Protein backbone atom coordinates (compact mmCIF):
# COMPACT_ATOMS: atom_id res chain seq x y z
CA UNK A 1 0.00 0.00 0.00
CA UNK A 2 2.86 2.37 0.63
CA UNK A 3 4.03 4.89 -1.85
CA UNK A 4 7.70 4.09 -1.46
CA UNK A 5 8.86 5.44 -4.74
CA UNK A 6 11.73 7.54 -3.46
CA UNK A 7 15.24 7.22 -4.59
CA UNK A 8 17.46 8.05 -1.62
CA UNK A 9 21.14 8.76 -2.02
CA UNK A 10 22.77 8.00 1.28
CA UNK A 11 26.25 8.29 2.75
CA UNK A 12 27.52 8.08 6.29
CA UNK A 13 30.01 10.72 7.40
CA UNK A 14 32.97 9.83 9.62
CA UNK A 15 31.12 11.20 12.64
CA UNK A 16 28.24 8.73 12.19
CA UNK A 17 25.85 11.29 10.73
CA UNK A 18 23.84 9.97 7.79
CA UNK A 19 23.52 12.38 4.88
CA UNK A 20 20.54 11.77 2.61
CA UNK A 21 19.43 13.35 -0.61
CA UNK A 22 15.88 12.29 -1.40
CA UNK A 23 14.47 12.32 -4.91
CA UNK A 24 11.18 10.94 -6.11
CA UNK A 25 9.73 10.26 -9.54
CA UNK A 26 8.18 13.66 -9.55
CA UNK A 27 11.51 15.40 -8.87
CA UNK A 28 13.10 13.52 -11.72
CA UNK A 29 10.50 14.69 -14.23
CA UNK A 30 10.41 18.37 -13.36
CA UNK A 31 9.35 21.04 -15.79
CA UNK A 32 11.48 24.06 -16.63
CA UNK A 33 11.26 26.92 -14.17
CA UNK A 34 8.81 29.70 -15.01
CA UNK A 35 8.96 33.32 -13.89
CA UNK A 36 5.78 33.12 -11.86
CA UNK A 37 7.03 30.11 -9.91
CA UNK A 38 7.67 30.61 -6.21
CA UNK A 39 10.78 28.80 -4.99
CA UNK A 40 11.15 28.44 -1.24
CA UNK A 41 14.39 27.47 0.47
CA UNK A 42 13.36 25.73 3.70
CA UNK A 43 15.37 24.88 6.81
CA UNK A 44 14.44 22.54 9.66
CA UNK A 45 16.48 21.81 12.82
CA UNK A 46 13.93 21.34 15.60
CA UNK A 47 15.17 17.98 16.89
CA UNK A 48 17.94 15.66 15.69
CA UNK A 49 17.78 16.05 11.91
CA UNK A 50 19.42 18.95 10.12
CA UNK A 51 17.42 19.45 6.93
CA UNK A 52 17.20 21.81 3.97
CA UNK A 53 15.03 21.68 0.87
CA UNK A 54 13.90 23.68 -2.11
CA UNK A 55 10.17 23.51 -2.86
CA UNK A 56 8.45 25.05 -5.87
CA UNK A 57 4.92 26.41 -5.55
CA UNK A 58 4.40 24.57 -2.29
CA UNK A 59 4.06 21.14 -3.89
CA UNK A 60 7.04 20.29 -6.03
CA UNK A 61 10.14 19.18 -4.19
CA UNK A 62 13.23 20.24 -6.13
CA UNK A 63 15.57 18.93 -3.46
CA UNK A 64 15.22 17.38 -0.03
CA UNK A 65 18.36 16.99 2.10
CA UNK A 66 18.36 15.37 5.54
CA UNK A 67 21.37 14.95 7.77
CA UNK A 68 20.28 12.43 10.40
CA UNK A 69 22.10 12.10 13.71
CA UNK A 70 20.05 9.19 14.98
CA UNK A 71 23.09 6.93 15.41
CA UNK A 72 24.75 9.46 17.73
CA UNK A 73 21.77 9.49 20.09
CA UNK A 74 21.03 5.77 20.13
CA UNK A 75 23.69 5.10 22.78
CA UNK A 76 21.94 7.56 25.11
CA UNK A 77 18.50 6.01 24.56
CA UNK A 78 17.06 9.27 23.23
CA UNK A 79 17.93 12.63 21.73
CA UNK A 80 20.52 14.59 23.72
CA UNK A 81 19.72 18.27 23.05
CA UNK A 82 23.30 19.54 23.41
CA UNK A 83 24.72 16.91 21.07
CA UNK A 84 21.94 17.59 18.54
CA UNK A 85 22.57 21.33 18.61
CA UNK A 86 26.32 20.85 18.14
CA UNK A 87 25.78 18.70 15.07
CA UNK A 88 23.28 21.12 13.58
CA UNK A 89 25.78 23.95 13.56
CA UNK A 90 28.36 21.67 11.93
CA UNK A 91 26.02 20.41 9.21
CA UNK A 92 23.73 23.33 8.43
CA UNK A 93 25.73 24.94 5.61
CA UNK A 94 26.44 21.58 4.01
CA UNK A 95 22.69 20.85 3.91
CA UNK A 96 21.70 24.27 2.56
CA UNK A 97 24.39 24.16 -0.12
CA UNK A 98 23.37 20.63 -1.15
CA UNK A 99 19.69 21.63 -1.30
CA UNK A 100 20.48 24.49 -3.67
CA UNK A 101 22.81 22.50 -5.88
CA UNK A 102 20.50 19.45 -6.11
CA UNK A 103 17.71 21.82 -7.13
CA UNK A 104 20.02 23.35 -9.70
CA UNK A 105 19.31 26.81 -8.32
CA UNK A 106 21.30 29.61 -6.76
CA UNK A 107 20.11 31.85 -3.92
CA UNK A 108 19.16 34.42 -6.59
CA UNK A 109 16.43 32.05 -7.82
CA UNK A 110 14.92 31.74 -4.33
CA UNK A 111 11.85 33.82 -3.51
CA UNK A 112 11.73 33.32 0.25
CA UNK A 113 13.43 31.52 3.09
CA UNK A 114 11.25 29.44 5.39
CA UNK A 115 12.39 28.10 8.73
CA UNK A 116 10.97 26.07 11.60
CA UNK A 117 11.00 28.27 14.71
CA UNK A 118 8.98 26.01 17.03
CA UNK A 119 8.00 23.84 18.71
CA UNK A 120 11.12 21.80 19.44
CA UNK A 121 14.41 21.88 21.31
CA UNK A 122 15.36 25.51 21.79
CA UNK A 123 19.11 25.09 21.19
CA UNK A 124 18.46 23.00 18.09
CA UNK A 125 15.85 25.39 16.67
CA UNK A 126 18.16 28.37 17.18
CA UNK A 127 20.72 27.01 14.72
CA UNK A 128 18.22 26.85 11.86
CA UNK A 129 16.65 30.18 12.83
CA UNK A 130 20.04 31.93 12.99
CA UNK A 131 21.11 30.49 9.64
CA UNK A 132 17.82 31.41 7.97
CA UNK A 133 17.89 34.95 9.33
CA UNK A 134 21.47 35.42 8.12
CA UNK A 135 20.52 34.16 4.64
CA UNK A 136 17.49 36.45 4.55
CA UNK A 137 19.52 39.46 5.77
CA UNK A 138 22.35 38.88 3.31
CA UNK A 139 20.12 38.29 0.26
CA UNK A 140 17.22 40.61 1.08
CA UNK A 141 14.81 37.71 0.48
CA UNK A 142 11.79 37.58 2.80
CA UNK A 143 11.84 35.31 5.84
CA UNK A 144 8.87 33.12 6.77
CA UNK A 145 8.58 31.41 10.16
CA UNK A 146 6.97 27.96 10.10
CA UNK A 147 5.35 25.90 12.83
CA UNK A 148 6.87 22.42 12.85
CA UNK A 149 3.54 20.60 13.14
CA UNK A 150 1.98 22.69 10.37
CA UNK A 151 4.94 21.50 8.33
CA UNK A 152 4.09 17.86 9.08
CA UNK A 153 0.50 18.43 8.00
CA UNK A 154 1.65 20.10 4.76
CA UNK A 155 3.72 17.02 3.84
CA UNK A 156 0.37 15.79 2.49
CA UNK A 157 0.29 18.61 -0.08
CA UNK A 158 3.59 17.34 -1.45
CA UNK A 159 2.40 13.75 -1.71
CA UNK A 160 -1.07 14.59 -3.08
CA UNK A 161 -1.10 17.43 -5.60
CA UNK A 162 -4.90 17.45 -5.63
CA UNK A 163 -5.43 17.64 -1.87
CA UNK A 164 -7.03 20.86 -0.70
CA UNK A 165 -8.47 21.89 2.66
CA UNK A 166 -10.67 21.32 4.50
CA UNK A 167 -9.63 17.94 5.88
CA UNK A 168 -9.10 16.17 9.17
CA UNK A 169 -5.49 15.42 10.06
CA UNK A 170 -4.06 13.19 12.77
CA UNK A 171 -0.58 14.38 13.75
CA UNK A 172 1.39 11.88 15.80
CA UNK A 173 5.11 11.99 16.48
CA UNK A 174 7.69 11.66 19.23
CA UNK A 175 6.76 15.02 20.66
CA UNK A 176 3.17 15.56 19.51
CA UNK A 177 -0.28 13.98 19.27
CA UNK A 178 -2.85 16.31 17.79
CA UNK A 179 -6.10 15.96 15.98
CA UNK A 180 -6.27 18.97 13.70
CA UNK A 181 -9.08 20.25 11.55
CA UNK A 182 -7.42 21.99 8.60
CA UNK A 183 -9.98 24.65 7.70
CA UNK A 184 -7.98 26.33 4.98
CA UNK A 185 -4.34 26.85 4.00
CA UNK A 186 -2.58 28.02 7.15
CA UNK A 187 -5.74 27.78 9.27
CA UNK A 188 -5.82 25.07 11.87
CA UNK A 189 -8.19 24.16 14.68
CA UNK A 190 -6.86 21.77 17.27
CA UNK A 191 -9.79 19.62 18.26
CA UNK A 192 -7.90 17.07 20.30
CA UNK A 193 -4.45 16.62 21.79
CA UNK A 194 -2.58 14.49 24.24
CA UNK A 195 -2.99 15.26 27.91
CA UNK A 196 0.30 13.61 28.84
CA UNK A 197 2.71 11.55 26.72
CA UNK A 198 2.82 11.93 22.96
CA UNK A 199 2.09 8.73 21.01
CA UNK A 200 5.70 8.44 19.82
CA UNK A 201 6.95 8.98 23.37
CA UNK A 202 4.83 6.04 24.53
CA UNK A 203 6.36 3.91 21.77
CA UNK A 204 9.87 4.89 22.89
CA UNK A 205 9.19 4.18 26.56
CA UNK A 206 7.55 0.82 25.93
CA UNK A 207 10.32 -0.16 23.51
CA UNK A 208 12.89 0.59 26.22
CA UNK A 209 10.91 -1.37 28.82
CA UNK A 210 10.78 -4.51 26.69
CA UNK A 211 14.40 -4.08 25.62
CA UNK A 212 13.90 -3.17 21.97
CA UNK A 213 15.94 0.02 22.24
CA UNK A 214 15.79 3.41 20.56
CA UNK A 215 14.09 4.62 18.39
CA UNK A 216 11.00 2.84 19.66
CA UNK A 217 8.53 3.48 16.84
CA UNK A 218 10.02 1.37 14.05
CA UNK A 219 11.23 -1.30 16.51
CA UNK A 220 7.80 -1.83 18.08
CA UNK A 221 6.23 -1.79 14.63
CA UNK A 222 8.57 -4.56 13.49
CA UNK A 223 8.20 -6.72 16.62
CA UNK A 224 4.41 -6.30 16.51
CA UNK A 225 4.29 -7.93 13.09
CA UNK A 226 5.46 -11.18 14.75
CA UNK A 227 3.11 -10.88 17.72
CA UNK A 228 -0.55 -11.39 18.58
CA UNK A 229 -2.33 -8.03 19.00
CA UNK A 230 -5.08 -9.65 21.11
CA UNK A 231 -2.74 -11.51 23.48
CA UNK A 232 -2.92 -8.92 26.26
CA UNK A 233 -5.86 -6.62 26.99
CA UNK A 234 -4.29 -3.22 27.62
CA UNK A 235 -6.70 -0.37 28.46
CA UNK A 236 -7.94 2.12 25.84
CA UNK A 237 -7.88 5.47 27.60
CA UNK A 238 -10.92 7.62 27.02
CA UNK A 239 -10.38 11.09 28.47
CA UNK A 240 -14.14 11.85 28.52
CA UNK A 241 -17.15 11.07 26.36
CA UNK A 242 -17.11 14.32 24.42
CA UNK A 243 -13.40 15.00 24.15
CA UNK A 244 -11.08 14.10 21.30
CA UNK A 245 -8.07 14.36 23.60
CA UNK A 246 -5.67 11.47 24.05
CA UNK A 247 -3.90 10.04 27.06
CA UNK A 248 -1.12 7.52 26.69
CA UNK A 249 0.53 7.56 30.09
CA UNK A 250 -2.10 5.16 31.55
CA UNK A 251 -1.45 2.70 28.75
CA UNK A 252 2.30 3.02 29.23
CA UNK A 253 1.87 2.31 32.97
CA UNK A 254 -0.34 -0.70 32.20
CA UNK A 255 2.43 -2.14 30.02
CA UNK A 256 5.05 -1.51 32.71
CA UNK A 257 2.79 -3.11 35.36
CA UNK A 258 2.23 -6.11 33.16
CA UNK A 259 5.99 -6.53 32.71
CA UNK A 260 6.64 -6.14 36.45
CA UNK A 261 3.99 -8.66 37.39
CA UNK A 262 5.29 -11.16 34.86
CA UNK A 263 8.76 -10.72 36.27
CA UNK A 264 7.59 -11.23 39.85
CA UNK A 265 5.74 -14.37 38.91
CA UNK A 266 8.81 -15.51 37.03
CA UNK A 267 6.84 -15.75 33.80
CA UNK A 268 8.53 -15.49 30.44
CA UNK A 269 7.17 -12.52 28.49
CA UNK A 270 6.60 -12.60 24.78
CA UNK A 271 8.04 -9.30 23.56
CA UNK A 272 6.29 -9.52 20.22
CA UNK A 273 2.89 -10.05 21.86
CA UNK A 274 3.48 -7.11 24.22
CA UNK A 275 4.53 -4.92 21.29
CA UNK A 276 1.54 -5.99 19.17
CA UNK A 277 -0.99 -5.58 21.98
CA UNK A 278 0.39 -2.20 23.03
CA UNK A 279 0.47 -0.99 19.44
CA UNK A 280 -3.10 -2.11 18.88
CA UNK A 281 -4.23 -0.16 21.95
CA UNK A 282 -2.57 3.00 20.58
CA UNK A 283 -3.88 2.47 17.06
CA UNK A 284 -7.43 1.81 18.36
CA UNK A 285 -7.57 5.10 20.24
CA UNK A 286 -5.96 7.16 17.47
CA UNK A 287 -8.23 5.65 14.80
CA UNK A 288 -11.41 5.91 16.83
CA UNK A 289 -10.89 9.58 17.67
CA UNK A 290 -9.90 10.46 14.13
CA UNK A 291 -12.97 8.74 12.65
CA UNK A 292 -15.38 10.29 15.15
CA UNK A 293 -13.92 13.73 14.52
CA UNK A 294 -14.05 13.29 10.73
CA UNK A 295 -17.71 12.31 10.98
CA UNK A 296 -18.61 15.17 13.28
CA UNK A 297 -16.88 17.72 11.05
CA UNK A 298 -18.37 16.08 7.97
CA UNK A 299 -14.93 15.56 6.39
CA UNK A 300 -14.61 13.38 3.35
CA UNK A 301 -10.84 13.61 3.57
CA UNK A 302 -8.64 12.22 6.35
CA UNK A 303 -4.86 12.66 6.47
CA UNK A 304 -2.05 11.64 8.78
CA UNK A 305 1.28 13.27 9.53
CA UNK A 306 4.30 13.00 11.81
CA UNK A 307 6.76 10.23 12.59
CA UNK A 308 4.14 7.83 14.02
CA UNK A 309 2.26 8.15 10.72
CA UNK A 310 4.87 5.74 9.31
CA UNK A 311 3.54 3.01 11.59
CA UNK A 312 2.21 0.28 9.33
CA UNK A 313 -0.61 -0.87 11.63
CA UNK A 314 -1.91 2.69 11.97
CA UNK A 315 -1.78 3.27 8.22
CA UNK A 316 -3.57 0.00 7.44
CA UNK A 317 -6.23 0.54 10.06
CA UNK A 318 -7.04 4.14 9.06
CA UNK A 319 -7.10 3.12 5.40
CA UNK A 320 -9.66 0.39 6.13
CA UNK A 321 -11.83 2.60 8.37
CA UNK A 322 -11.84 5.44 5.80
CA UNK A 323 -12.82 3.02 3.05
CA UNK A 324 -15.74 1.74 5.16
CA UNK A 325 -17.04 5.29 5.51
CA UNK A 326 -16.39 6.38 1.91
CA UNK A 327 -13.68 8.81 2.96
CA UNK A 328 -10.40 9.35 1.12
CA UNK A 329 -7.30 8.57 3.14
CA UNK A 330 -4.09 10.53 2.61
CA UNK A 331 -0.76 9.34 3.97
CA UNK A 332 2.59 10.84 2.99
CA UNK A 333 5.46 8.49 2.12
CA UNK A 334 7.41 7.53 5.28
CA UNK A 335 10.32 9.76 4.28
CA UNK A 336 7.97 12.75 4.31
CA UNK A 337 6.60 11.69 7.72
CA UNK A 338 9.96 12.01 9.44
CA UNK A 339 11.35 15.47 10.14
CA UNK A 340 12.34 17.06 6.83
CA UNK A 341 12.57 20.51 5.30
CA UNK A 342 10.43 19.85 2.21
CA UNK A 343 7.33 19.90 4.41
CA UNK A 344 8.53 23.23 5.90
CA UNK A 345 8.84 24.55 2.34
CA UNK A 346 5.25 23.50 1.63
CA UNK A 347 3.90 25.15 4.77
CA UNK A 348 6.14 28.18 4.20
CA UNK A 349 4.73 28.63 0.72
CA UNK A 350 1.17 29.10 1.99
CA UNK A 351 2.39 31.45 4.73
CA UNK A 352 4.27 33.37 2.07
CA UNK A 353 1.14 33.68 -0.11
CA UNK A 354 -0.76 35.05 2.88
CA UNK A 355 1.88 37.74 3.28
CA UNK A 356 3.18 36.48 6.61
CA UNK A 357 6.77 37.66 7.09
CA UNK A 358 9.09 37.24 10.04
CA UNK A 359 11.34 40.02 11.27
CA UNK A 360 15.05 39.81 11.98
CA UNK A 361 14.15 39.42 15.65
CA UNK A 362 12.51 36.03 15.00
CA UNK A 363 13.37 33.78 17.91
CA UNK A 364 13.04 30.07 18.57
CA UNK A 365 9.86 29.29 20.51
CA UNK A 366 10.20 25.80 22.02
CA UNK A 367 6.52 25.49 22.99
CA UNK A 368 4.98 27.39 20.09
CA UNK A 369 1.24 26.69 19.96
CA UNK A 370 -0.32 25.57 16.70
CA UNK A 371 -2.18 28.24 14.72
CA UNK A 372 -1.44 31.03 17.22
CA UNK A 373 -0.74 34.09 15.04
CA UNK A 374 -0.31 36.52 17.91
CA UNK A 375 2.78 34.84 19.34
CA UNK A 376 4.18 33.88 15.98
CA UNK A 377 6.73 36.56 15.39
CA UNK A 378 7.04 37.90 18.88
CA UNK A 379 7.86 34.80 20.83
CA UNK A 380 10.44 34.83 23.57
CA UNK A 381 12.63 31.98 24.56
CA UNK A 382 15.47 31.66 26.96
CA UNK A 383 18.92 31.09 25.60
Partner 1 sequence: MKIISLDTSGLVCTVAVTEDDRLLSEFSIQHKITHSELLLPMMEQIKERLSLDLNTVDAIAVSAGPGSFTGLRIGVATAKGLCLALNKPLIAVPTLDALAYNLYGNENIICPMMDARRSQVYTGIYTFVPEKESEDQHEVFYKMKTLMPQAAMSVAEIADRLNKIGKRAVLLGDGIPVYRDKLDDLLKVDYILAPPLANRQRAAALSVLAAEYFRKGKLADTDSFAPEYLRASQAEREAKEKKARTVKIREMSAEDITESAALEAASLGKEAWTEKQLLEACTRDDTVYIVAEKAGRVAGLCGVRNISGEGDVTNVSVSAELRNTGIGYMMLTELLKKAEGIGCRDFTLEVREQNQPARKLYEKLGFVNEGIRPNFYDDPDDNAVIYWKRNTND
Tell whether residue 359 is a contact of partner 1 (CB under 8 A). Answer: yes
Tell whether residue 376 is a contact of partner 1 (CB under 8 A). Answer: no
Tell whether residue 137 is a contact of partner 1 (CB under 8 A). Answer: yes
Tell whether residue 360 is a contact of partner 1 (CB under 8 A). Answer: yes
Residues in the interface with partner 1 (CB under 8 A) total 40
Tell whether residue 129 is a contact of partner 1 (CB under 8 A). Answer: yes
Tell whether residue 361 is a contact of partner 1 (CB under 8 A). Answer: yes
Tell the smallest beta-carbon distance from residue 383 to partner 1 (Å).
4
Q: Give strand pairing partners of 40.
A: 55, 112
Q: How far apart are CA 309 and CA 217, in angstroms?
A: 10
Question: CB–CB of 49/71 below 8 Å?
Answer: no
| Longest CA pairwise span in the chain (Å) | 71
**What values do phi and psi take at 11, rounded to 5?**
-145, 150
Instruction: Enumerate residues 54-83 that contact partner 1 by CB under 8 A.
Output: 75-76, 80, 82-83
Residue closer to partner 1, measured from CB, 42 or 303 = 42
Q: How far apart are CA 354 and CA 350, in angstroms?
A: 6
Reading across the β-sheet that carries 18-23, which strands appear in turn?
7-12, 18-23, 60-68, 49-56, 39-44, 112-118, 143-147
Tell whether residue 18 is a contact of partner 1 (CB under 8 A). Answer: no
Residue closer to partner 1, measured from CB, 80 or 256 = 80
Question: CB–CB of 287/313 below 8 Å?
Answer: no
Tell the smallest beta-carbon distance from residue 374 to partner 1 (Å).
17
Tell the smallest beta-carbon distance from residue 380 to partner 1 (Å).
7
93 Cβ contact list (under 8 Å, min separation 6): 131
Tell the smallest beta-carbon distance from residue 18 to partner 1 (Å).
17
Q: How far apart are CA 338 and CA 114, in angstroms?
A: 18
Least Cα distance to 381 among 358, 370, 357, 365 occurs for: 365
**What values do phi and psi take at 357, rounded to 5?**
-130, 140
SS3 (DSSP) at 164 = coil
Residue closer to partner 1, measured from CB, 128 or 151 = 128
234 CA to centre of own chain: 27
Least Cα distance to 85 among 45, 55, 118 occurs for: 45
Tell the smallest beta-carbon distance from residue 137 to partner 1 (Å).
6
Q: Give strand pairing partners of 7.
A: 23
Least Cα distance to 350 among 25, 31, 42 occurs for: 42
Question: Which one of 1, 29, 138, 264 is in contact with partner 1 (CB under 8 A)?
Answer: 138
Residue closer to partner 1, measured from CB, 121 or 327 = 121
Tell whether residue 264 is a contact of partner 1 (CB under 8 A). Answer: no
Question: Which one of 139, 253, 260, 367 is in contact with partner 1 (CB under 8 A)?
Answer: 139
Question: Which one of 55, 61, 122, 232 is in contact with partner 1 (CB under 8 A)?
Answer: 122
Residue closer to partner 1, measured from CB, 78 or 369 = 78
Tell the smallest beta-carbon distance from residue 185 to partner 1 (Å).
28
Question: Which one of 18, 89, 190, 209 is in contact with partner 1 (CB under 8 A)?
Answer: 89
Contacting positions for partner 1 (CB under 8 A): 75-76, 80, 82-83, 85-86, 88-90, 92-94, 96-97, 107, 122-123, 126-135, 137-139, 359-361, 363-364, 380-383
Amino acid sequence: MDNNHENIKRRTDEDGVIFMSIKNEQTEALQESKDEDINILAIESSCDETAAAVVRNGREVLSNIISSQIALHTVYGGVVPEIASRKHVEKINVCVRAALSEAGLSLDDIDAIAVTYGPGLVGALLVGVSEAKALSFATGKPLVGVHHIEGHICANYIEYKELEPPFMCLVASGGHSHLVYVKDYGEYDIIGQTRDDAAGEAFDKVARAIGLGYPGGPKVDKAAREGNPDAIAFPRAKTSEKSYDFSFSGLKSAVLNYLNQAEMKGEEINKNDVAASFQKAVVDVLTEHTMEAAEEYNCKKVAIAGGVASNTALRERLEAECEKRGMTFYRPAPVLCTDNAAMIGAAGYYEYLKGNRAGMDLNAVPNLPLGDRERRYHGRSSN
